[in-house]
Structure 1
Amino acid sequence: MKYPLIAPSVLAADFANLQREVEMLNDSPADWIHVDVMDGVFVPNISFGLPVCEAIHRHARKPLDVHLMIMQPERYLEAFAKAGAASLTVHLEASPHLHRTLSQIRELGCRAGVALNPHTPVWLLENVLHQLDLVLLMSVNPGFGGQEFIEQTYRKTTELRRMLQSAGSAALIEIDGGVSNQNAGALVEAGATVLVAGSSVFKADSPAEAIGQLKSAGRQPVA
């Protein structure tokens, strides 16, 4: 598999034409479709829930990468798996029984992921590395799209890559927030394997072309 994988976030899509947007992603170079679920409690915003995830899945031909920015995510794992999630990512900050939650995700047949907010250190994952299929590093504070990329993400990505390598883990490293052609190459060089992009894709004149450009930028060596 050639990295980076690109996972456009439908949080930035045109909700009035969501089927059309999903069909565009089907025909684009995108690898996954990123679905941000927000509850207005864990993050200061409300996005969408199970019915919208189900609707996206009905039209999607690419895996749904579901990012649960919610409290008590374990209550909804089975429902989101049934709604079509190929991967389920929960926040370490919202999961006091993380080992149990990751086991539940894997039992549901989904890729198991953990997300970390910008201030959360990667070493807190040390005791669950063997259960992880992916780690999502937030490169903005979660809750809203269109925010400015946090520069410390490069160092954090490198630190996480070293930790995964030392543990013999093949977990993917996903970056979410402020990803663009300007930082994609440096993120991949630091260790990122999956790039989430919202505004930089859906606000482009040609979103499909923007996805291809982002993938190319991630494969360019950094000067």
Structure 2
Amino acid sequence: MGLEDITSRIRSVEEKAGRAPGSVSLIAVSKVQPDERVRAVLQQGHRLFGENKVQEAQGKWPAFREEFDGVKVHLIGPLQTNKTRAAFGLFDAIHSVDRPKLAKTIARIAQEEGRCPDLFIQVNTGEEDQKAGVLPADADAFIADCREMDLPVRGLMCIPPVDEEPSLHFALLAKIAHRNGLEGLSMGMSSDFETAIALGATHVRVGSAIFGERVPQG
């Protein structure tokens, strides 16, 4: 496993699915990975990374951005409303817009700053109580509300339940995106990204298969 292997597998599935080469963006999930592992992937030329927490990104990415040109970082974990302004300064995209209060906070800060990261709306396709995201039945209305606030909604994101067939959830997310005219589909992780690409993913989030197993935090 490693960056080269994952990239090769992505290109292979793109070809099999009749997708244009390079139509899928690989987000290297660098959360809780040691700096030396992240630097090694940067040195291989990769420039798109995913983080789960604002605080961890603050301690990692400003220095890496100075060292390496063209770095982009996406927030793929939950965002607390009180961390929204900090997120604007750190992330090129936020994949976890999951509730009206957060959308309103993003809209207010975007107005004040005159800019906004790209946004993906998180859909709780498995309707799991413990998981964030709007319910599938509420997705159309929430997308419309975000658009009314002039938010740059680029697509949808989901994390399927661990004990269910992911393809069903990827297909549902693609269906919701299609009927709302959204092209971005952030779906698929280390274990199922090939299935996600075959079903239309534009962004896949792969961590351990690139960096190795996460290092436990003390």
Which band: TM-score by shorter chain? 0.5 to 0.7
Equivalent position of 1:166 in the other structure:
179
**CA shift in 2, pair 1:151/1:34, >3 Å:** same
Superposed displacement of residue 153, structure 1:
2.7
Higher mean C-alpha displacement, 157-166 vs 116-125 = 116-125
**CA shift in 2, pair 1:99/1:25, >3 Å:** same
2:187 partner SS: strand
Match of 1:122 among 128, 136, 157: 136
Structure 2: how far apart are the matches of 1:104 and 1:53?
25
Provide, for residues 152-174 of structure 1, a one-character-per-residue CA deviation record: whole Å limited to 9, x for no partner: 4321211121221122222x111
2:52 partner SS: strand
Using the aligned pairs only, state the percent identity. Answer: 10
1:81 aligns with 2:81: no
Superposed displacement of residue 33, structure 1:
0.5
Equivalent position of 1:7 in the other structure:
27
1:155 aligns with 2:175: no
Provide, for residues 26-75 of structure 1, a one-character-per-residue CA deviation record: whole Å limited to 9, x for no partner: 3446451001117xxxxxxxx825333434443453210123424xx222
Q: Which has the larger radius of gyration?
A: 2
Equivalent position of 2:159 in the other structure:
138
1:193 aligns with 2:205: no
**CA shift in 2, pair 1:29/1:52, >3 Å:** closer
1:69 partner SS: coil
- TM-score, with normalisation over the residues of structure 2? 0.65
Q: Letter of the 2:101 partner, please give it.
A: H
Q: Letter of the 1:122 partner, please give it.
A: P
**CA shift in 2, pair 1:28/1:49, >3 Å:** closer
Contact 1:90 1:114 in 2 (8 A): yes
Structure 1: how far apart are the matches of 2:177 and 2:170?
11
Match of 2:50 among 34, 46, 70: 34
Contact 2:97 2:103 in 1 (8 A): no
Contact 1:37 1:48 in 2 (8 A): yes
Equivalent position of 1:214 in the other structure:
none
Name stretches of at least 5 consecutive residues in structure 1 with no aligned partner: 39-46, 141-148, 205-223
1:108 aligns with 2:115: yes
Contact 2:30 2:207 in 1 (8 A): yes
Q: Letter of the 1:78 partner, please give it.
A: R
**CA shift in 2, pair 1:186/1:160, >3 Å:** same
Provide, for residues 110-137 of structure 1, a one-character-per-residue CA deviation record: whole Å limited to 9, x for no partner: 1112334552533332123344223221
Map residues 178-217 of structure 1 onto 2, 5 A cutoff.
179-180=190-191, 183-203=192-212
Structure 1: how far apart are the matches of 2:96 and 2:193?
24
Equivalent position of 1:51 in the other structure:
59
Name stretches of at least 5 consecutive residues in structure 2 with no aligned partner: 1-19, 214-218
RMSD: 3.0
